[in-house]
Structures are given as C-alpha cells and as structure tokens.
Structure 1
Amino acid sequence: MDDAHPQPPAADGGRRRPDATQRAEALKERIYVTFTSLAVVIAVERSGTHASVGGAATTLVLTVLGTLLAVLVSDLLAHMVREEALPDRAEIRHLLWVSLGSLSVVVLPLVLLGAAALGLLGLDVALRTISVVLVLTLVLVTLLAVRRLRVRLGVKVGALVGIALLGVAVLVVELAVH
C-alpha cells in the first residue's frame, strides 16, 4: 500500500503487502466513513444554537464507530455466507485492519473540534472547515485509488473531479435540506 496507511499484519505477525482487493476494501471503507462524517458534521452545523463542541465530537465519534461496527458485522456475515465458515484469524485481522484504518478519516476533524474546545476556533468555523477537509479527504482517497491504475491520465483526473463534485453535491444537498 502507500506509506500513509499501515499494511495489514500477515498471519505470522509480520507485514505483507495487501493485494488489490484488500486495498480496495480499505479505500471503500474510508469513503463510507468520510461521507458519513460529512453528513453528521453538516447536520450538527445546521442544528445551530443547540450545537456544542462536546456534542459535535460525541455525535461524530459515535456515528463513525456505529458505521464501522455495522460494516464489520456485515463483512463478517458476508464472509460466513460466501465461505460457509467463520473467518480465520488472518481474515479477522484483515477485517479489523480495514475498519480501524478508516478511523484515520476523523483524526483531523477531531483535532479541529479540539481547537474549537480550546477557543482557538469558533464551533461554526470548525464545522465548516471540517466539511471542506472531508471533501478533500474524498479527493485524497480517490487519488490513492486511481494513482496505480493503468488508465489514461484523463480518466484519473475525471475520477478525481467527479468525486470532488459529488462531495460538493453532498454539501449542497445537506445545506438545502436543512
């Protein structure tokens, strides 16, 4: 994988390079968490006068953890149905690596909420900044996904622009709904 994301442990405890399917699973999970986080942050921002830094952080963390647990359980069940067996240790470690690695998506948003808690930023500024950071995260995750593809540069750029537009569309829809 790349240097920014840890590799899943091998069955013998050492490191092994994840295959394309495993990398795709990790990137897919980060997309889920990023979109979920974006929706939560916008909803908290739109709640306006009822929003607090602690409430925003708690809502974000609980929503992300809930999302990751839901995906982990669904992956476990899908594995059992597909393989007609429980996952072995290596497969469980991989599933946990994918889920726990996705928590990296909310590190910067939580840092920004921490800055708001310290009075360095207003909560409204922190939430708007987090929304922008999350859209940029979508673009970064897409960049990681397409950088090794053997397709024309135009296709890669198109994917990046498309994801950025989708992220902005989520912002627009969320703002219009609230």
Structure 2
Amino acid sequence: MTDTTTGDRGGPAPPARLGERTRSLKEQIYASFTGLAILAAVSGTGHATAADALLSVGIGVLGISAAGLLAEVVSHQVVHQRLPATEELRTMGRIALGALGSALAPVVVLALAWGGMLPLDRALWTGMALYAAVLVAVVLLAVRRTGLRPLQRLLATATILGLALLVVALLQLGHLD
C-alpha cells in the first residue's frame, strides 16, 4: 500500500494529493469531534435509548460531512470563481465520505446496544473511546512526517486527546442533574 503522504518511491507527495490528504484529515477530525460530542451529550442525559443514540450519531456525522462538502464547494467557487469540475467534485465527495468512516466503529457498537447485545452506557463510553482513538490516530498520521521531534509529536497527540477528554467532561458536566 502506498503511503498517502509520500510518492510511490518515498519522495514527497504531489501537492494535489497532499492537499487532498490534508483536507481529508481535517474532515475526519471534524466528524470525530462531532460524534464524540453527540455521544457525550447523549450519555449525559441518562434518558436516551440506543435507537436515539444511533440516530443522533448517524444524523450528526452525516450532517457535518455534508456541511464539509458544501463548504468545499462554496470555497472552491470563491477561490476559482467557478463551480468545481467533475473530478474536483469527486475528490470533494471522497473527502466527505472519508469523514463518515470515522463513525463506522461507534455506529456498530451502538447497533449492538440497539440489538440488546450490549448495555447502552457501555456502548456510549466505548463509542467515545473509539472516537478518541480516531482522533489520536489522525494526529499521529498528521505528525508522522512533519519533522517534529518525538517529544513534540507526543505533545501534539496528548493535546488532541486532552481536548477530546475536555469535550466529554464539559458535556457531561452540562448534563448533571
């Protein structure tokens, strides 16, 4: 498998491919934080059902992915003063679909809760942990070829994980009875 941050022979990736990968990572971060926030809010209410949680995450992540696609199209129009060409629109669609992929594992866990195979509270916490793991993976991928020293990479990863935990804590605090 070819590394998306480098060319086939280990050299720098072409600028267009690197730009697409960067935009994709950004959308995965947006979608992961959205899903994480939704699960934290659902968990904090204590009154939701597995179906509510599944629907909320599905709609929320689909919505943020669609918003990302729309933002890409609008920003393209502003910069290039034209609608995106077919290939550009395909790239934008791939990026939006990639963001949806961040919800796959949490949705499966919530579906297991909906099917009665897993308690809802465990499914919600597992989903939040999975989203946090996606965020860490995205950050690790992003910093891998930056030239940062190992300590700086660790700090970048710890910062994003800390922000994810802060989101969960604030949303839980906001829903205390």
TM-score (norm 1): 0.87
AA aligned to 1:43 is A
Aligned letter for 2:26? K
Specify the alignment match of 2:25 in structure 1. 27
**Alignment correspondent of 2:63:** 66
Query: Quick one: distance in 2 between partners of 1:2 and 1:46?
Result: 42
Superposed structure 1 runs of 4+ greater than 6 Å apart? none
Aligned mates of 1:63, 1:134 — CA distance in 2: 14
Q: Does 1:127 align with 2:124?
A: yes
Percent of pairs with identical residues: 34
Look up the equivalent residue of 1:31 and give its one-letter code. I
SS class of match (2:125)? helix
Deviation at 1:18, TM superposition (A): 5.9
> Is residue 147 of structure 2 the alignment partner of residue 150 of structure 1?
yes
> Where in structure 2 are the equivalents of 1:28-177 lying within 5 Å?
28-49=26-47, 51-177=48-174
Amino acid of the residue matched to residue 148 of structure 2? V
Q: For 2:101 and 2:84, how far apart are their aligned partners in 1? A: 25
Residues 139 and 156, structure 2, Cα contact 8 Å, conserved in 1: yes
Q: Which runs of 5+ in 2 are unaligned?
A: 5-13
CA positional deviation for 1:121:
1.1
Counterparts of 2:162 and 2:70, CA distance in 1: 31
Q: Which residue of structure 1 aligns with residue 10 of structure 2?
A: none
Q: How many residues of Structure 1 are paired with residues of Structure 2 in the alignment?
A: 166
Question: Does the C-alpha gap of structure 1 residues 110 and 173 become closer, same or farther in structure 2, counting only changes over 3 Å?
Answer: same
Q: In structure 2, what is the Cα distance between the partners aligned to 1:169 and 1:100? A: 27
Q: Deviations over 1:126-167 (max 9, x none)?
A: 001111111111101111111122221221111111111111
Decide whether aligned partners of structure 1 residues 2 and 106 sit closer, same or farther in structure 2, where only a CA change above 3 A counts.
farther
Q: Runs of 5+ in structure 1 lacking a partner?
A: 6-15
Shift of the alpha carbon at 1:44?
A: 1.2
Task: Give the Cα separation in 2 of the matches to 1:46 and 1:2.
Answer: 42
Q: CA deviation at 1:172?
A: 1.1
Tell me the SS of whatever aligns to 2:139. helix
CA distance in 2, matches of 1:132, 1:27: 19
